[in-house]
Amino acid sequence: MPSTLPLGDPAPSDGVLPASAGVGAAERSFSVYVHIPFCAVRCGYCDFNTYTATELGSGASQDGYAAAASREVVFGAKALRASGLPARPAETVFFGGGTPTLLPASDLVSILDTVREEWGLAPGAEVTTEANPESVTPETFRILAEGGFTRVSLGMQSAVPHVLRVLDRTHRPSRVPLAVQWAKDAGLQVSVDLIYGTPGEALSDWERSLSEAISYAPDHISAYALIIEEGTRLAARIRRGEVPDIDDDDHADKYLLAEQLLSAAGFGWYEVSNWSRGPESECRHNLAYWRGGDWWGVGPGAHSHAGGVRWWNVKHPAAYQRRVDAGESPAAGREQPDAEARLLEDVMLRSRLSEGLELRRLPDAAREAVAGLIADELVDGPEVFRGRLRLTLRGRLLADAVVRRLLGF
């Protein structure tokens, strides 16, 4: 969730959506995202809408945040009813940040309780929180599991101290396996998140991080290529020549190594940057995004979607709290992308999945490009004859180029 909000139309204070948002809603999944905008330290590569204690200013606090977020949940349920959308229990709930586990575990559970009361949770709902290994204890995970959480996503990023220093990550590598085991002991599924391509990271450093993550036997591993966002501390360091810039060939080599080691360890890719031990340990919340489901985003800067209508909340926690305390929508703006924009997003997201993109979703001009993609070994030929466009390993390395060729831009 980037810190810069998009431009858009004004959002009504009552949160009511246009009638088009309800068309076909009964056939779409519904999820809830809860943004926790607090961090102990701002990482040098991060462009998310997060705040350290010294950046908060007056009018907002961590202590009152759970109550404010719960008020938005109540508001959101009322707004969806007023918009005529059918009642749908949340199939997934995801607490992201920031560092959600900077809040007491009981606060996270209280927000989840409000989601359960207002929207309901579907049978077998997936409930995830992100966590920093330094901000959790065995008691944290016990409270979360007893409160209905089913999954934790741990921000490991790297096992190599000098790589963590470049990223401004403050956790100790030795803390990660402890946190993994504590979460398992509480009965939670565990995902470990990694970043590759950090300036100064050797291929052997990345191999070490992958090997250590695999040795913790998590259910799921995410591996994301580092992107340098303008305005971050790391971008400034690269511009000043203090650290080298990132390199596309280096990213490709590290992705290939990730695929090699993870597949050998029994993990299968289901999205370009995500591997799991099987369908039961895939991140269903992210799949809901990639498949075009509906979700309500709670918290400052959070984005929401229902039936092609998108809206986003005001950024600062103080402004957010003022609005929800007044019983008003915290939305700063909203938009309804046109058919061309929706097609682009659909193709970009669905083509990254191992299940592939149904060819019937493509316009005729895009289908004409498929033969060339097969010839260039970017998509799987036999899968095309079964009606799906599925990326090869080479295609995964060039996923954005595949989309450009399909849609002619």
Residues 6+ positions from 389 with CB-CB distance below 8 Å: 351, 356, 357, 358, 359, 362, 370, 373, 379, 383, 406
Nearest C-alpha neighbor of 278 from the set 219, 222, 196, 356: 219
Between these two residues, 58 and 383, which has the higher pLDDT value? 383
Establish whether the linkage from the previous residue to 268 is cis, with ω within 30° of 0: no
Residues 6+ positions from 80 with CB-CB distance below 8 Å: 17, 296, 306
Instruction: For the chain, list the domains and their CATH numbers.
Output: 19-290 (3.20.20.70), 338-409 (no CATH)
Q: For 166-175, 181-190, 342-351, which range has the lowest pLDDT when averaged over its residues?
A: 166-175
Mean per-residue pLDDT, 375-397: 97
57: left (phi over 0), alpha (psi -120 to 50) or beta: left
CA–CA distance, 8 with 310 (Å, rounded to integer)? 9
> Which pair of tokens denotes residue 46?
């991060």
pLDDT at 2: 46
pLDDT band at 3 (very low <50, low <70, confident <90, very high): low
Report the share of the chain in percent with pLDDT over 90: 87
pLDDT at 31: 98
**Average pLDDT across the chain, whole number:** 95
pLDDT in tens, 272-310: 999 999 999 999 999 999 999 999 999 999 999 999 999
pLDDT in tens, 59-117: 778 999 999 999 999 999 999 999 999 999 999 999 999 999 999 999 999 999 999 99
- Flag whether pLDDT at 1 surpasses 60: no
CA–CA distance, 93 with 228 (Å, rounded to integer)? 28
List alpha helices for 83-202, DSSP H: 105-118, 138-146, 161-167, 175-185
- Flag whether pLDDT at 28 surpasses 80: yes
pLDDT in tens, 193-243: 999 999 999 999 999 999 999 999 999 999 999 998 888 888 889 999 998
* Cα–Cα–Cα angle for 277, 282, 287, rounded to 5 degrees: 155
pLDDT at 335: 96
pLDDT at 4: 66
Which pairs with CB-CB distance under 8 Å and at least 24 residues apart come from 262-271? 262/210, 262/214, 262/221, 262/223, 265/214, 267/214, 267/221, 268/354, 269/354, 269/396, 270/353, 270/354, 270/355, 271/352, 271/353, 271/354
Look up the pTM and report it: 0.95
> Which pair of tokens denotes residue 85?
């959308």
pLDDT at 170: 81
Mean per-residue pLDDT, 30-37: 98
Nearest C-alpha neighbor of 250 from the set 268, 226, 267: 226
